[in-house]
Amino acid sequence: MDIGGKLRQLRLQRGLTQEEMADRCELSKGFISQVERNQASPSIATLTDMLECLGVSLAAFFSDKNGEKTVFAPQDMFVKEDGETLRGRVTWLVPSAQKNAMEPILVELGPGGESEELPPSEGEEFGYVLAGSVWLVTGGKKTRVRTGSAFCIHPMEPHRLVNAGKSRARVLWISTPPSF
Residue 95 exposed, middle or buried by CB count within 10 Å (0-12, 13-18, 19+): exposed
CA-CA distance, 105 to 93, in Å (whole number)?
Answer: 5
pLDDT value of residue 144: 97
Closest CA to 85 of 180, 160, 144: 160
Do 169 and 131 form a contact (C-beta atoms < 8 A)?
yes
Q: State which amino acid sits at residue 81.
A: E
Tens digit of pLDDT for each residue in 25-78? 999 999 999 999 999 999 999 999 999 889 888 888 887 655 567 888 898 888
User: What residue spans define the domains of the chain?
Assistant: 3-67, 74-176
User: What CATH number has the domain spanning 74-176?
Assistant: 2.60.120.10
Tell me the average pLDDT of the chain. 89
pLDDT value of residue 66: 55
User: What CATH number has the domain spanning 3-67?
Assistant: 1.10.260.40
Tens digit of pLDDT for each residue in 72-106? 889 888 888 887 777 889 999 987 766 778 889 99
pLDDT value of residue 148: 98
Instruction: Tell me which range, 140-144, 145-149, 162-166, is most confidently predicted by mean pLDDT.
Output: 145-149
